[in-house]
A and B are shown apart, each in its own frame.
Chain A
Amino acid sequence: MTESHESSSAPPARSSDLRIDQEVIAGLVGNGARVLDLGCGDGLLLEYLINNKNARGFGVEISTQGMHACIARGLPVYHGDIDQGLSDHTDGAFDYVILSQTLQAVRRPRFVMREMLRVGKKIIVSFPNFGHWNIRLKLLVSGRMPKTPMLPYEWFNTPNIHMCSILDFQDLCRQMGINIIEQIPLAAWGGLPRSPLKRHLVKILPRTVSNLLAPVAVFLLEKGKG
């Protein structure tokens, strides 16, 4: 039981602890917002938003480890998959619904996006960009499914079953009548939380080349007016 003692007395989240895409997401969330974080993991982002942005937060997490970490942080968290975590909530119950690096792992991405837009006024989605040059090159050169630090799995055991590129995602938003408020391609591997360089690597890339150069993208979306 020592694990819980340690984690519950750990200092509250600072921005330097955040993964790079989490940091960008935190920047998009307005003050005092009500936030639903789908796949909240150890609850770091949610705790940061509560402490620094005065947010009211709620997490959904499938792993037991993540659950214990969230409970130790005092976060309200729901143990279950994302679909269940969403059906509990009424239309527009949240100012922001966050899906960070998880879209590619859900079974029904369009359904999840629709549900997010139902319960949230705005939604924030971050995902690994499969159009990144490194991935294209790996497939071209090796002729095998590409593996990267962010996508380290074999094709047969990967949880990432719905990979897309930034262009694919833009297409989907158009199809679903979703309004893109902001899109932020990131120049660093968002999946490397402990990299000392990460803070220096953040650069906003020109949009035209982002599909080729950005390994991760963050989108702020809302329901289209039409």
Chain B
Amino acid sequence: MNQDPAHDPGSVGLVTTQAITLFEQGEPLRLDSGAALGPINVAYETYGKRNSDSSNVILICHALSGNAHAAGRHHAADTKTGWWDGYIGPGKPFDTDRFFVICSNNLGGCDGTSGPSSIDPKTGKPYALDFPLITIGDMVRLQRELLKHLGIHKVLAVAGGSMGGMMALQWVLDYPDSVSGALVIASTPRLSAQNIAFNAVARQAITQDPDFNHGNYYQGPKPERGLSVARMMAHITYLSEKGLHEKFGRRLQNRENFSFALETDFAVESYLKHQGSTFGKKFDANTYLYITKAMDYFDPFPDPETTARHLKSVNARLFVMSFDTDWRFDSSRSKELVRILNLHQKNVSYQEFHSPHGHDSFLLPDHEYQLSIATFINRLYNEHMRRQPQKDSHP
């Protein structure tokens, strides 16, 4: 991880986030809520080279707290790489020697793409809670517009974990002719009551913070404590009980005996506090509210008629993957998705991987999982090449 990017053959090396403004003129983006939004800034990164016919494009969708920085480093001195660096790079499953990989910050985000913290051109002030409520469908619509502006009309694959998996699924449903394959990883076709409950408590933690101020906190102190509590709770759901216990056990933090006071006795407390406060400082609380809401609303298969309608024109190949210790979106949720797709005779594969790391497994390196992604992507690409042999042989 600490290798010099210039000498790490598996890294995409130094990258920069790019920015584009869409929906600047003409029609604004029509949202599922009925509202309209524009102009919209989008932050995105690309890795690898695009084919002359743009046939090697892979779109990566990030999860709740991710951003456009999926691989490589922004500066040589960066200790941290992009959030999916184990999967994107030369020779990696999303092989940048062969594929053109794009990742953009989601609509409603706080890392370069328009969201509640962005300036509303009408008022000159941050949108805050005047930002319209958004859906997974809206996020995907914006990605589609970004690709169109880059001259890309069809992608080889869309891939994402957790909420990113919902987006990959949404892509297949909304743009069936524009996607050859989708990787839906550690995800779900809908949130359960328990998932929504966790999101609801997270939102309560934020909105009950005295600094929340109805979302208008951009001029003063931010509701970092509320956001930090929300993140601490969510973080527990990203790990498995076994994984967490193996990492921390009942170890005490910098002490040999209990404090018998309300102090941070256990190492796991200290760890969570650190995770929470780091996140509280860098992430926007309003974005957290909006994105969790979008996840709550996601439900492409609410009843048999809607399901049939949504799946009617789908002909992409889907690969659904889950991890056996994930309890945020456990394997049964992935299997539920596979069952729905099978009922409608869609081309779907499913694989469960063993991992001790719970929901976070989808982000971490694992040989079998990497090999499955690579095999799926290679197959899609080879099929594409086989379909157009004559085109490639022409000068």
Residues of A within 8 A of B342 (CB): 58, 88-89
Residues of B within 8 A of A4 (CB): 371, 374-375, 378
When C-beta atoms are compared, the residue in chain A nearest to B350 turns out to be A78
Are A78's CB and B343's CB within 8 A? no
A74-B383, A76-B349 given; A8·B378 CB < 8 A: yes
* Majority-rule SS of B interface residues: helix
A75 to B335, CA, bound (A): 18
A51 at the interface (CB under 8 A from B): no
A67 to B375, CA, bound (A): 10
Are B372's CB and A71's CB within 8 A? yes
When C-beta atoms are compared, the residue in chain A nearest to B340 turns out to be A88
Residues of A within 8 A of B371 (CB): 1, 3-4, 68
Interface residues of B in 332-375 (CB under 8 A from A): 335, 338-339, 342-343, 345, 347-352, 368, 370-372, 374-375
A76 to B91, CA, bound (A): 25
Residues of A within 8 A of B335 (CB): 84, 88
Residues of A within 8 A of B339 (CB): 88
Are B319's CB and A71's CB within 8 A? yes
A144 at the interface (CB under 8 A from B): no
A67 to B382, CA, bound (A): 18
A-contact 0/1 string along B193-207, CB 8 Å cutoff: 000000000000000
Question: In the complex, how many angstroms separate the beta carbon of A87 from the nearest chain B beta carbon?
Answer: 8
Residues of B within 8 A of A73 (CB): 379
Interface residues of A in 87-145 (CB under 8 A from B): 88-90, 93
A3 to B372, CA, bound (A): 11
Residues of A within 8 A of B352 (CB): 79-80
Residues of A within 8 A of B379 (CB): 8, 71-74
B317 at the interface (CB under 8 A from A): yes
Residues of B within 8 A of A72 (CB): 375, 378-379
Are A80's CB and B350's CB within 8 A? yes
A200 at the interface (CB under 8 A from B): no
Interface size on B, residues (CB 8 A): 27
Are B374's CB and A1's CB within 8 A? yes
Number of A-B pairs whose CB atoms are under 8 Å?
68
When C-beta atoms are compared, the residue in chain A nearest to B386 turns out to be A9
Contact of A5 among B347, B350, B378 (CB under 8 A): B378
A178 at the interface (CB under 8 A from B): no
A56 at the interface (CB under 8 A from B): yes
Interface size on A, residues (CB 8 A): 29
Interface residues of A in 48-80 (CB under 8 A from B): 56, 58, 64, 67-68, 70-80
Are A71's CB and B375's CB within 8 A? yes
Are B382's CB and A8's CB within 8 A? yes
Question: In the complex, how many angstroms separate the beta carbon of A9 from the nearest chain B beta carbon?
Answer: 6
A64 to B349, CA, bound (A): 13
Question: In the complex, how many angstroms separate the beta carbon of B328 from the nearest chain A beta carbon?
Answer: 20
Residues of A within 8 A of B370 (CB): 1
B290 at the interface (CB under 8 A from A): no
Residues of A within 8 A of B378 (CB): 4-5, 8, 72
Interface residues of A in 143-163 (CB under 8 A from B): none
A71 to B352, CA, bound (A): 14
Are B348's CB and A76's CB within 8 A? yes
Residues of A within 8 A of B91 (CB): 1
When C-beta atoms are compared, the residue in chain B nearest to A84 turns out to be B335
Residues of B within 8 A of A75 (CB): 349
A-contact 0/1 string along B371-395, CB 8 Å cutoff: 1101110110011000000000000
When C-beta atoms are compared, the residue in chain B nearest to A71 turns out to be B375
Residues of B within 8 A of A89 (CB): 342-343
Are A74's CB and B350's CB within 8 A? no
Residues of B within 8 A of A5 (CB): 378
A4-B371, A67-B351, A71-B349 given; A88·B376 CB < 8 A: no
Question: In the complex, how many angstroms separate the beta carbon of A21 from the nearest chain B beta carbon?
Answer: 25
When C-beta atoms are compared, the residue in chain B nearest to A36 turns out to be B342
Contact of B350 among A7, A8, A79 (CB under 8 A): A79
Interface residues of A in 1-54 (CB under 8 A from B): 1, 3-5, 7-9, 34
Q: In this complex, which of B343, B370, B374, B376 has the most chain A Cβ atoms within 10 angstroms of its Cβ?
A: B374
Residues of A within 8 A of B317 (CB): 74, 76
When C-beta atoms are compared, the residue in chain A nearest to B95 turns out to be A1
Residues of A within 8 A of B368 (CB): 64
A9-B382, A79-B351 given; A56·B319 CB < 8 A: no
Residues of B within 8 A of A74 (CB): 317, 379, 383
A93 to B343, CA, bound (A): 8
A146 to B387, CA, bound (A): 51
Are B338's CB and A70's CB within 8 A? no
Residues of A within 8 A of B376 (CB): 71
Residues of A within 8 A of B382 (CB): 8-9
Q: In this complex, which of A7, A88, A89 has the most chain B Cβ atoms within 10 angstroms of its Cβ?
A: A88
When C-beta atoms are compared, the residue in chain B nearest to A56 turns out to be B345
A152 to B213, CA, bound (A): 73
A70 to B382, CA, bound (A): 15
Residues of B within 8 A of A84 (CB): 335
Question: In the complex, how many angstroms separate the beta carbon of A203 from the nearest chain B beta carbon?
Answer: 38
A-B contact pairs, 13 of them (CB 8 A): A4-B371, A4-B375, A5-B378, A8-B375, A67-B349, A71-B376, A72-B378, A76-B317, A76-B347, A77-B349, A79-B350, A79-B352, A89-B342
Q: A8-B378, A88-B343 are in contact. List 4 more A-B contacts (CB 8 A).
A: A79-B352, A88-B335, A88-B339, A90-B343
Q: Which 10 A-B pairs have the closest CB atoms?
A: A4-B375, A79-B351, A71-B375, A88-B339, A8-B378, A1-B374, A76-B347, A77-B349, A74-B379, A78-B350
